Amino acid sequence: MQRTEASNSLRPFTIAQLNKATQAHTDAEWRVDDVEIGQITVVGQVVSIQKQTTNCVYMIDDGTGKMEARHWVDNSNEDDSSRFGEITEGHYVRVTGGLKSFGKKRYLNTTHIREIRDAHEIYFHILEAITVNLIMERGPPSNPHGANAKPSENGGGNMSAYSVQGGGGPSDQFSHLPALQRNIVRFIMSQPPREEGIHVAAIAKAIGAGGQDAHKISEALDKLMDDGHVFTTIDDSHFNVSL
């Protein structure tokens, strides 16, 4: 169960933390402080870009270290090509994906990358990475609104500890979202846990898939990904909630 929770979670990291990640063997899951990690998100400055036919390699520096972020570009998708073609050297970006290695060199296998336009997001990411790391080590903070509230049954050593922070239910953290985005998130959360996530067709069918509605759902999913609330899993059509 721990592996499923980790693989279905999106956790913020610094590059220094990722450089310290370990594997029991080549095909094993990555672990940081003996906690399995799944999808990761990093914020840093693009110091160089190498554009190739099928992929684009960004060198990311977040002040704690440097690491390559490799994004495979679908040239047949105009939205994909134009969106990622706008990223330039010197700008800060948020990268989402998985940690990989090739020839003893680690890199980020990027599923989503976008430019950061609000400087506060840079500082927020650093603070969030610290907060999550402390929760992993010590467990979630006590809930002042409920004397009988208990930490996660699995203790502070897995991803579920992060999802219970804040005192409210998991859906409370999404209450500020626009109605359509909130409904999408709540629908995904209501489904039985699946490592592959929920297909966009199932989301559209549940939320509403008539003409303009389908377009609005696609836009809402893009916004949710940009804000780090959902992430793609096995392909660009399957989504899961970042807990």
- Per-residue pLDDT tens over the stretch 113-125: 989 988 899 999 9
What is the reported pLDDT for 59? Answer: 96
| Residue-level pLDDT at 2 | 43
Residues facing residue 41 across a β-bridge: 12, 96
62 within 8 A of 43, measured Cβ to Cβ = yes
**Strand locations in the chain (E):** 10-12, 31-32, 35-36, 39-51, 55-61, 66-72, 92-102, 105-115, 198-199, 230-232, 238-241
Q: Which residues contact 19 (CB under 8 A, 6 or more apart)?
A: 65, 67, 106
Q: Is the pLDDT of residue 153 over 70?
A: no
- pTM equals 0.60
25-84: pLDDT as tens digits: 888 888 898 888 888 999 999 999 998 888 899 999 999 999 999 998 776 665 555 555
Question: Regarding beta strands 31-32 and 35-36, do their DSSP bridges make them parallel or antiparallel, or are they unpaired?
Answer: antiparallel
Q: Among the listed ranges 47-56, 98-107, 152-161, which one has the minimum average pLDDT value?
A: 152-161
Q: Report the share of the chain in percent with pLDDT over 90.
A: 25
Mean pLDDT of 101-107: 87
| Stretch 192-208: mean pLDDT | 82
Output phi, psi for 178, to 5 deg. -60, 155
d(CA 107, CA 32): 15
Quick one: pLDDT at residue 167? 41
The confidence score (pLDDT) of residue 185 equals 87
12-28 pLDDT tens trace: 999 999 999 998 888 88
Calpha distance 54→167 (Å, rounded): 45
The pLDDT assigned to 243 comes to 62
Distance from C-alpha of 27 to C-alpha of 104, rounded to nearest angstrom = 13
